[in-house]
Chain A
Amino acid sequence: MQPTTDPTAAAVLAVVFVPFAAAALVPLVYRVLGERTAYYAAAVALACFSLVASQYGTHGQVVVPWIDSLGVSLRFYVDGLSLLVGFLASGVGVLILTYSGGYMHDEPGKPKYYAALLAFMGSMLGVAFAADLIALFVFWELTSLSSFVLIGHYQRTDDSRYAARKSMLITVSGGLFMLVGFLLLHEVVAEMATDANAFSIVYMLEHAEAVQEELRAAGLFVPVLGLLVVGAATKSAQVPAHIWLPNAMEAPTPVSAFLHSATMVKAGVYLLGRFRPVLVSHEWELLLVALGLTTMTVAAVLAVAATDIKELLAYSTASHLGLIVAGFGFVSELGGETGAFHILNHAMFKAALFLVAGIIAHEAGTRRIQGLGGLKEDLPITAAIAAVASLGMAGVPPFNGFYSKEFLFEAAYHAAAHSGGLAWLFPVVAVFGSVFTFLYSIRFLMLFFGEKPTGLHTVHTPPKTMLVPPLILATAAGIIGLGGVTATFGVPITPLNHFVGEVFASVLPPAEAEGVHFGYHLPKHVSPAAVMSAVTIGVGAAAYPFYGRLHDGINRLLDVDPLRANWYYDGAVFGANGLSDRVTPLVQNGLLRTYATWTFATVSALALSGYVAAGISIPAFEGLGLSPALLLVLLVAVVGAVAVSIAPSHVSGVLTLSILGFMVAVFYVLADAPDLALTQLVVETLSLVIFLLVLDKLPAFYGTASRSRMIRDGMLSVAVGATVFVTVLVTTDTSPANPITDFFTNPAVTVEKAGGHNIVNVILVDFRAFDTMGEISVVAMAALSVLTLIAMRERGETQ
C-alpha cells in the first residue's frame, strides 16, 4: 500500500515557488493580456496541478538547507494528506481562476487580485507540503497575509476593511499561538533528535509515539496540544473564532470559494491531520471532538439564521470544518476516515456551491435569500449543479457528503459505546447538528424551486467560464457519490479509494498505518449510523416547513448581545482603539522631552525588573583600585555633571557639559585607550562648536519648571543612573577566561595579517569592516534624510 518512490525535488520545489514567481510577473502580464490575465493565472495553476499530479504515488521528503545554524531547512514532505491539500489548492485554483475571468469582468484592481490569488495559492501549496515547523509557520502566515489582501479587495468600503482586519487579527494571532506550540515541540524533540531534525515534521511522524512520550515526560503535552489547536481552530473558523468567516464573504465570490471552502480554512484541519499521528490520545479526543461538534452545531444553527446566501454558505463551511475536526478528533480509525474523506467531499460540494452563489449574485443582482426563488427556469444547469452539491452537503444518500457523515456517526457511536456516560452526547449532538445542516442545505436548494418572487428581474445565463468550473466540481462530487452506489454492488472506484486510503494512512500513527484500506458504500443493513442518518433526514424533513419560524427565532436569540461572539470581538477591538486613543497623546505628544521620559522610564523599569527576576546580585565592593590621577579626573567629571544640572544659562550648560566630555577623554588617555580618547576629543570639540552655532538662536535662560516636574525628572534621572550603574557593575563582574583582546593584541594577527599596529583601526577597517560599511551608510542616510526633511518643509509639506 505504501508507495516508496521518492518525490522529485525539482517538481516539489517548483510547485511551491512557481506561483510566487508568477504572481510577481502579474503586473507585467496584465499590461499585455489585460482581462485575459485570468487565463495566464489559470495556466500557472494548471502547471502546478500537473506538477502535483506528477508526484502522485511518491512518498518522502525533499530538503533544501535554509538557516543551517538554527537547524531550519525548507523541508517538503509528500504523502497522501499533503497531496490531497495540494490537489485541492491547485486544482480548485485552476477552476477559480478560470471562473474569475468571467466574474471579475467589471471589477477594479484586477492585477492586485490575480497576483494575490496566485501568491495565496503558492502559500497554500507551501503549507500543504512544508515539513519543517518554521517553514510551515512562514507559509501559514503567508496565507493569512494574502487572504487579508483578497478579503479587503474592495478597499474603499468599510465593511471590506473591517472584514479583512478581523480575519487577519484572528488568524494571525492564532498562528502565533501555533508558533509557540511549535517552539515547545522543537525544544522537546531536540532532546531526542539531532539538531538538523529537531524542526522536522517528518522525523516527528516517523517517531510519533516516542515524541508523544517525550512530550508527556516534559509535562508539555497538553500545552503543545492546546497551542496547536488554537492555531488550527482560528484558521479553520472553529467556535468561538468562527466569527471572521461570515465577514470574509465581503471578498469577491471566487475568493470565498477558493479560500473559504477549499483551501485556507482547510489549513487548520490539515494541521490537525498532520499532527494527528503524533498527538492522538485521550486528551486529543476530548478536546477536538468537543470543539468540532460544538462548531458543527453552532455554525449550522447560525446558517439557518443567515439572510444572505454567502453568509449561509460561510456558516455552513464553519459547520463542516467542525465535522472534520470532530472526525480527526476520534481516536478510532473511523475518525481518521471521516476527516480524510470529508476534506475531499466538502471541498467539492462547497466550492461548487460558492460558485453557484457567485452566479446567482452576478446574474440575479441580489444575494438576499428572501428575494430569490424559482431560479431553475432561467438557470437549469446551475440548478442541477446546486442539486448535486447541496444534497451532498445535506448528507442525503447517495450523494458524496452522506458517506463521510456516515463515518462520523459511526465514529461517534463507537466512541460513546466504548466510553459510555457523557460520551453519549457525541452521537446526540452530531445528529442534532446534522438536522440543521439538512435544513439549510435544502433551503439553499429551494432557491431554485418554487415561485419566482416579484421584483426579481430576468436572470441571464452566465458565461461559459463561470459555468464550467462549478460543473466540473459538481460532477466530481457526483462521481464520488456514485462510487458509493457502485461499491454497494461490489464495483468500487478503486483509484479514489486508493487515494483516500493514502490520506487516511497519513493521519494514522505509523504503527497502524501499515496496510490500511479505505472503502465506502451505502448501508446494507440496519446499523446505528444508518439509523442516525435516517433520524437526521426524517426530523429535518419534518422540520423544514417551520424553517421560517426557526430562522426568526434564532435571529431573535442573536439580538441578545452576550450570545454573539461578535459582540465580544467588537467590544475588545473597539475598546482597544479607545484605549490607544487615550494613551497616545500621553506618550507621543510631539515633545522630545516626553518621548525621552517614557523611553528612559521604560528602559530602566525593564532592565531593573529583569535583574530582579533573574535574581542577579551586585558584586561585593572591593575598593576603588584607581590611581590618584584617575580619581581626580573622575572627580572633576562629577563636578562637571553636577554643574550641568544647575547651570543657569545655555552657555554655561554647554561649557560644563564639555568639561564632562573632556574629562571622559582624559580618562581614556589614562586608561591606555588613545584612539577612543582622540575620538572623544574630536567629537566633543565638534559638538561644542555646533552648540556655539545654534546658541545665539536660543533664548538665553531656561524657563522655570514646576516643582512636581522637577521632582519627577529628578527621580527619573536617579533611576536611569542607578540602572546604568547596576548594569555596568553586573556586566563587568565576570570576564571571560579567554578575552577577545588576546586575539587582537597578538601581533601575528593584527600586524601580519592586516599590516596595522593600531588595533582599533585594524578592527574597524579590516576585521569588522562590514560593520563599518553599515555605519557609514547610516551616516550618509542621516544626511540624506535631513536634506529630504528640509526640502519637504520648503515645499509646504509640514506633516
Chain B
Amino acid sequence: MSTVIARTVTRTVVPIILVTAVALLLQGHNLPGGGFIAGVLTTTAFALIYIIYGLDYLEEELLHQFREPLLESMRHGIVENYQIAFGVGLALAAVAGLVPILFGHNFLYQTYWVLHHLPIYGELHVASALAFDLGVYCVVVGALLTILAVVGSE
C-alpha cells in the first residue's frame, strides 16, 4: 500500500486533518462540528498513518516510545496512552458535569461567558459545555484508536 504517492499525500494531509478536527471541536457550539465529529476525524488521521506507514511507525518514529508490552496484542505501547485518553475523557465529562453542583446548579448544568475586546477575535463566546465536549472528544479518540490498534495488529 505504501507507494510514494500515498506516503507523500498522507504526510501532507494528516496535519490538515488534525487542524480541521481541532477547529471543528472548538467551533462546535456555534457551527457544524463538535466533540464526536472531531474525534472521529482525528481517528481517521491516525488510521491513515497506520495504513500507510504501518503500526510501529507512529510510536517509534514520531513519538519515540519503546515499551515492554504486557500482552502480545498490546505490543504497541501507545495503546496504553489511548486507554489513558478515554479514561481522562470520561473523567473530564464527569467533572464538567459535577462542577455546576458546587455552584448550586443541577448536574451537567451549562453556562457561557462572553469575552470582549480580544485581539484578533474581538468578541468570543466561551461555553462551559466545551469542557464536556472535550471529554467526548478524548473518549472517542481514545476508544476508537484502541480498537483500531488492537484489532489492526491482529
Q: Do A and B bind each other?
A: yes
Chain A interface (Cβ < 8 Å from any Cβ of B) = 674-675, 677-679, 682-683, 685-686, 689-690, 692-694, 696, 754-758, 760-762, 764-766, 769-770, 772-773, 776-777, 779-780, 782-783, 786-787, 790-791, 794
Chain A neighbourhood of B86, CB < 8 A: 779-780, 783
A785's closest neighbor in chain B, by CB?
A: B147
Whole-angstrom distance from the CB of A683 to the nearest CB of chain B?
6
B38's closest neighbor in chain A, by CB?
A: A682
A756 contacts B36, C-beta separation under 8 Å: no
* Interface of chain B: mostly helix, strand, loop or mixed: helix
Also in contact, A689 and B32, with CB within 8 A (given A679-B40, A783-B142, A791-B73): no
A790 CA to B148 CA in the complex, in Å? 12
Most buried by B among A683, A689, A696: A689
- The contact sample of 18 A-B pairs, CB cut-off 8 A, is A674-B32, A678-B33, A678-B37, A682-B41, A693-B148, A696-B1, A755-B129, A756-B30, A756-B127, A758-B31, A761-B129, A764-B36, A766-B129, A769-B97, A776-B135, A787-B146, A790-B71, A790-B73
Most buried by B among A675, A690, A757, A760: A690
A694 CA to B47 CA in the complex, in Å? 12
Chain A neighbourhood of B142, CB < 8 A: 780, 783
Of A760, A769, A777, A794, the residue contacting B110 (CB under 8 A) is: A769
B29 contacts A779, C-beta separation under 8 Å: no
B110 contacts A689, C-beta separation under 8 Å: no
A786 contacts B40, C-beta separation under 8 Å: no
Q: Which B residues, 107 to 121, have Cβ-Cβ distances below 8 Å to chain A? A: 107-108, 110-112
Q: Does B93 contact A (CB under 8 A)?
A: yes
A791's closest neighbor in chain B, by CB?
A: B71
Chain B interface (Cβ < 8 Å from any Cβ of A) = 1, 24, 28-37, 40-41, 43-44, 47-48, 50-51, 71-74, 79, 82-83, 86-87, 89-90, 93-94, 97, 107-108, 110-112, 125, 127, 129, 132-133, 135-136, 139-140, 142-144, 146-148, 150-152, 154
Chain A neighbourhood of B1, CB < 8 A: 692, 696
Also in contact, A757 and B29, with CB within 8 A (given A682-B41, A682-B44): yes
Also in contact, A776 and B90, with CB within 8 A (given A770-B108, A791-B71): yes
Also in contact, A757 and B136, with CB within 8 A (given A782-B147, A783-B146, A786-B151): no
A686's closest neighbor in chain B, by CB?
A: B44
A758 contacts B33, C-beta separation under 8 Å: yes
B154's closest neighbor in chain A, by CB?
A: A790
A786's closest neighbor in chain B, by CB?
A: B147
Chain B neighbourhood of A692, CB < 8 A: 1, 51
A686 CA to B71 CA in the complex, in Å? 27
Whole-angstrom distance from the CB of A272 to the nearest CB of chain B?
47
Chain A neighbourhood of B143, CB < 8 A: 779-780, 782-783
A83 CA to B154 CA in the complex, in Å? 66
A690 contacts B148, C-beta separation under 8 Å: yes
Chain B neighbourhood of A677, CB < 8 A: 32
Of A678, A683, A686, A794, the residue contacting B73 (CB under 8 A) is: A794
B129's closest neighbor in chain A, by CB?
A: A765
Also in contact, A769 and B108, with CB within 8 A (given A679-B37, A689-B48): yes
Chain A neighbourhood of B24, CB < 8 A: 678
Chain B neighbourhood of A773, CB < 8 A: 93-94, 97, 108
A43 CA to B37 CA in the complex, in Å? 60
A765 contacts B30, C-beta separation under 8 Å: no
